Structures are given as structure tokens and as C-alpha cells.
């Protein structure tokens, strides 16, 4: 028996309504676009690298933004939490100076630097995807 177009459409509708969104680190489509991460790399180099290091490794007092120490701190938190932290506390001399679009791009760059994949949809201020896959 050949599947009908109506049957295939019904199956796709059912699957789209019941699909589970996995945390970004588990291989689901990521919460940001490649373009956001690329723009974030430029912003990072101009605004953040002098303190956090050119490779996000951290500085004398500044924490790393990539690697095991970063993930240990942020893996149970969401992209929204990270965005809020950056928006309200960075840079320390001028918190909130960078603006929403630039902050979103910085979060995208940080996620990419921690091997969290990009996806087809841009991150917004309402995006709240868990950064890692460890349960809170």
C-alpha cells in the first residue's frame, strides 16, 4: 500500500508537535546562526579579548569563556542567563554599553567556541536553551 500525501502530512504534523528539543550540546540544531557567531567574533576581538584573551582563555582575574572551566560554570544555565550576565555586567567599566544585538552575537561566538553547534534560527533575547547537557 502506497502512503498518501494526506497521511504523510498528518505524520509530519504529529512529529512536529511532539518533538523534543535537546540541549544544544547534545547535537540538536543550535540556538544561534553562523552569521551571529561570526559577528560576535569581531565584537569579541574589539571589546573582550583584551581582558579574556584572544582565545577566550581568560586573563589574570578574568575567567575563561571557553573550555572546561567555562562549561563547569555555565553548562546547567541557559543562553538567556549568559545573555543577561553579559548585558548587565560586561564590560565591567561600562555594563550594558554594547547593546542587545552585539550581546547576542557575543553569546553566539562563545557558544561556538565551546563546540555548541549553530542552527537555522537567530538567537533572540527570548532564547533560553541550556548551554550544556548536564542536568541542573
Grid look-up 552575537 returns 105
The predicted pLDDT at position 62 comes to 95
Q: Which residues of 27-37 are buried (b: 16+ CB within 10 A; e: fewer)?
A: ebebbbbeebb
- 3-state DSSP assignment of residue 82: helix
DSSP string computed for 10-59: HHHHHHHHHPPPPPGGGTSPPSS-HHHHHHHHHHHHHHTHHHH-TTS---
The predicted pLDDT at position 27 comes to 53
pLDDT digits (tens, 9 = 90+) for 17-67: 333 334 444 457 899 999 999 999 999 999 999 999 999 999 999 999 999
pTM, 2 dp: 0.79
The predicted pLDDT at position 28 comes to 75
pLDDT digits (tens, 9 = 90+) for 82-130: 999 999 999 999 999 999 999 999 999 999 999 999 999 999 999 999 9
User: The domain 31-136: what is its CATH number?
Assistant: 1.10.760.10
Q: Could you tell me how many residues make up the chain?
A: 136
Amino acid at each position: 500500500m502506497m502512503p498518501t500525501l494526506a497521511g504523510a502530512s498528518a505524520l509530519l504534523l504529529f512529529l512536529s508537535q511532539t518533538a523534543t528539543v535537546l540541549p544544544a550540546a547534545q547535537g540538536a540544531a543550535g540556538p544561534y546562526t553562523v552569521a551571529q557567531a561570526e559577528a560576535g567574533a569581531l565584537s569579541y576581538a574589539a571589546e573582550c579579548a583584551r581582558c579574556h584573551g584572544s582565545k577566550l582563555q581568560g586573563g589574570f582575574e578574568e575567567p575563561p569563556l571557553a573550555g572546561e572551566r567555562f562549561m563547569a560554570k555555565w553548562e546547567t544555565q541557559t543562553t538567556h542567563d549568559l545573555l543577561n550576565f553579559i548585558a548587565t555586567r560586561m564590560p565591567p567599566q561600562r555594563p550594558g554599553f554594547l547593546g542587545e544585538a552585539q550581546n547576542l552575537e557575543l553569546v553566539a561566538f562563545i557558544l561556538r567556541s565551546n563546540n555548541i553547534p549553530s542552527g537555522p534560527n537567530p538567537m533572540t533575547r527570548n532564547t533560553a536553551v541550556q548551554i550544556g547537557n548536564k542536568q541542573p
